[in-house]
Each structure stands twice: as structure tokens, then as C-alpha cells.
Structure 1
Amino acid sequence: MRISIWPSAGQPYGDVLEVARHAAETGWDGVYIADHFMPNAGGQSDPDHPVLECGSVVAALGASVPRIRVGTLVYGNTYRHPAVLANMASTVDQITQGRFTLGVGAGWQINEHEQYGIELPPTSKLIDRFVEALQVLHGLLRQRRTTVHGEYYTLTDAVCEPKPVQDPLPILIGAKGEKRMLRVVAEYADMWNAWGLPDLIAHKSAVLDRHCADLGRDPKNIARTAQALVVVNGPLPENTPVPVIGGSKQRLADAIAEYRAIGLDELIIPDWLFAPGAERFKAMDTVLRLARP
């Protein structure tokens, strides 16, 4: 099971770079960056807290940090035309010499759309649009020329050059909806990602398997990735909107072992609950040691 770090983009770039470099030097497998422009409205964060732009950060990390994979978790489809995103992704894969993972999702954060005047359609239309975007991405990244005449995107004999170093560049889809989104994953993804504790991830992974069977696709061709907040040594926070594991080193080791037991391919660790500075590196070292005893 691969172990990757997810540094918050709501910190100075120098801190993100330090985390990525420490991960590369100590044996982590990858580093992921989220695609947001501001904290989510209604959360506990300052609504004006600075947030770094994802595409710029992954390009910078790809040029500055050796060895480990760099990925997005995940690009919101509504923020960029998929043809633009395909060119961005191919360029970052060139920069990293084949170490980029293109993570994409349908888009969801309301305050970002409201403040920037970006349309956020109802869920059914949002997913329809996302499916068309995936057709564009698949075409531009994997074919010489692409034509798509859809409801949301129109491309005519379009090119995207240079192509990625990887053939194919892996496309990760973040999704949790069992009826439509996991079916989209089954049809278009090389990797799947969701928040969840091991039992939930195992359940949704089984749903994904059934969609693959319906479509005639081998489920083994879709890598399974997941994340939860991590506490290395201390009380777990209460009333968090996302899952949390750990609290003690033994409980954290047990949780990591459960992810491995359900067949997870990659566990992604947000650094959001780690203390800053040297303490964060100690926490990272502990997580890696527990994951690879």
C-alpha cells in the first residue's frame, strides 16, 4: 500500500515545499494538493484565509521535488475548461518526467462559485457536464486529435501537444455517490478516491466493482485510494465533517492495517492536524514508520 502526504494549500508555499521535500527524502510515495481558492463557507476557518492555487503549486513541486509522484486531489471541473486542463496536466507530466496524477471531480464548493460568478448547476447536470469533460480529457491526453460535440463542450479536430510522458497519464476521480458517480469512475477512471474509514471504503469499493462488472471492465484496473484526518498522539477532534483515525500510535497502526487489509492501494494523509515545524516532520516520520514496520 502506497503512503502519500496531503499538505494544506492554506499555508505558505515554503511550508508546502518543505513537507513535500521531507516526504521525498524519507520514503513517502506521493504528495497531493487540493483545488480550492478559499476556505469552505460555514467551516471553522477564517473565510478570508489565503489559499494557494492548485495548478501552480503542483507545477512548482514537480520542478522542485524529485522522485515522488505529484497529484491533484482533485481539480474541480467547473473551474477550468477541460481542454485547458488537459494542456496543464500534460505540461506538469512533462515537468515531472512522468510523475503526475491528474485528479478530477465534478466540483462542489458553493462559496467559490458564488464569489467568482461560476455556474454551479444542479447535481444531475453537474455530473452530465463532468462526463463530457472526461471525454475531452481522455481524447486530448490519449488520442492524436479529438472531436467532441456535446451539450457543454465542443472540440473539433483538437490537438494537445506535447502529450504526457506517461501513456496513459493516470486519471483519478474523486467520487462517493454510489448510483452515478461510482459508475462514472468505473467507466473513465484509472484511480478512485474518497474520504472514509476502512469499512466505508470497502463498501463503496464493492459498489465500484459491481459497476465495473456491468460495464465489462476489470475492477483491478482501477486503483483505490482514500484519506482520513490523522492524530498521531492525542485526543481525536469532535464533530469533524470528515473521518479521523489515530489518537495513539497503536490505534493509528491498527487503522492503517485495516486499510491495507481491505485492499487499499494508496492511503493519503492530510497534514492538517499536525503541529507546524519540526513537530510536523516527527508526525510524518511516525506515520511512515507505522505504515511500514
Structure 2
Amino acid sequence: MKQGYYHLLAIAVVVVWGLTYISTKVLIQHGLHPHEIFFYRFLVAYAGIWLIAPRRLLANSWKEEGLLALAGFFGGSLYFYTENTALGMTQASNVAFLLCTAPLLTAFLSAAYYKEVRLGVHLLAGSVLALCGVGLIVFGGKEGLKVSPWGDLLTLSAAFSWACYSLVIRRLSHYPVSFITRKVFFYGLVTILPMFAIFPFRGNVGILSQPAVWMNLLFLALVASLVCFVAWNVALKKIGVMHTSNYIYLSPLVTLGASMLILGEVLTFTSAVGAACILCGVYWAEKKSGA
């Protein structure tokens, strides 16, 4: 029963993260650049994490401190910058679909670096079925995938970056989750700073004073980053990289449900089949995965 709690925790995080596209789009429409959104988001989250994180400053060794820096880079600056930039270069549907390759990439990397992780036929079949379901929901009834080389490549880079983040966090599971999360926020901020040498920092006072901007930034910082990163890292620690990552496939279901509830959209047959494929695929991969 206790393990079930951590599975529900991972699902709850995916639900919240499924709503962040809307907030990010609002912020971009109001004039904030992708690296600025990330900087403000992680800066507020970093300030908040100090209230709950252990006061220790460094890891047990410089090697593990380096791993924490890699986690901040892969799960922070690189992931969010490539994702947010891709949203301005390719279709949102492409981004939504390609980001869902993260669980498969995680599975392949886990098998390559952790020999005890095996890519069983059930895990792969469940993952492919779930990914097909994502495709049906994202592209069903639409024109389909339109290749935008740079934007799509950036999205795949974001998915690969998140897979790397998951593997690095596994190596740090002996540390308190709040400490790991705080260091991820810190190194995420440090590694995004070079972007300001290319795109100079702007005051943005007029933009930040708008209610739609600061409210969405607070949601991204306090809920989607502070709370959700802690919760996600707890799930990674308790139920493993593979089990946790598989729930990323559920993200399009969140978008689908929100569209029905908020926008009054009708559930199409294609979307219904896609939803069934995702649920069956995640269930199959989850039950058959020994990771």
C-alpha cells in the first residue's frame, strides 16, 4: 500500500507538469524569453527550498558534488531551455509527442549503464504501445507531424536530457531528497547564466508586474518546481527510475482532460483509443518491469 502512495505521487506530479505548457506559453506571449522564464522560476524555487532543505552546503565528495551539478544541468537549465525554445520553433504537438520518448530513452540508458536493469519484451512493448497512444491523442484528427528540424531536435535533446537527469539522481539516492532538489535548483541557475552573455539580462519590471505574469511564474516556481521536483525525486528514490519515468506517458491525458473540462472539447474516437493505449501500455510496462 505504501508503494502505491509513491506511484500516486508520481502521477500527481505528471498531472501538474501537464499544465505547465499553458503557463509557459502565457509568459512567452507576454514577452519573457525561455532562459528568463527558467531563471525566475528556479530562483524563486531555490529561495523556497531553503525553508525545508538541510543546511549542509556540499556533498560527501567532489565527485558527488559534480553529479549534483550534472543533475542541475540535465534536469534544469538544459532541459527547460531546450523545451521552451522548441515551443517557439516547432508545433506544440511535436513537442508534446517527442518529450514522451523520455521513458524509452531512460530505459535504454538504464540498461546501458546499470547492468541489473534489463529491457524485457513486456517493458518495451508496453512503452511502444503507450507512445502510440500519445501519437493518437496528439495528432489524431490533425494534419499530423510536420518536421521542423531544429525545433524537433531541441525537443529530443530535452527528452534525452531528462533521461540523463533520472539516471544521475539514481546515483545520489543516499542523500535526502530536499538536499538533492536544492542543489539541482542551484546548479540549474548557475548553468543557465552563460545564456545571459548571449542574450543580456533585461529588467522586465513592466512585464513582471502584470498579474498574469507573476501568478504564472509563482505557479511554475512554487508548485511545478519546488513541490513537484521534491515529489518526483521521492518517487525516483522509492519506486525506481523505470517505474517513475513510465508515468510521463500520462501527460497527454492531462491535456486531453483539461481540454474537455475547460474548453468543452468533445472526446473523439481516436483520442479515446489513444487514451486506452496509454493506460494499457503504462500498466503493462509497470507490471512487467523489474527495474
Higher helix residue share:
2
TM-score range, shorter chain: under 0.3
Scaled by the length of structure 2, what TM-score is found?
Answer: 0.27
By relative contact order (CA 8 Å, sep 6+), the higher-ranking structure is 2
TM-score (norm 1): 0.27
Task: Identify the structure with the greater strand proportion.
Answer: 1
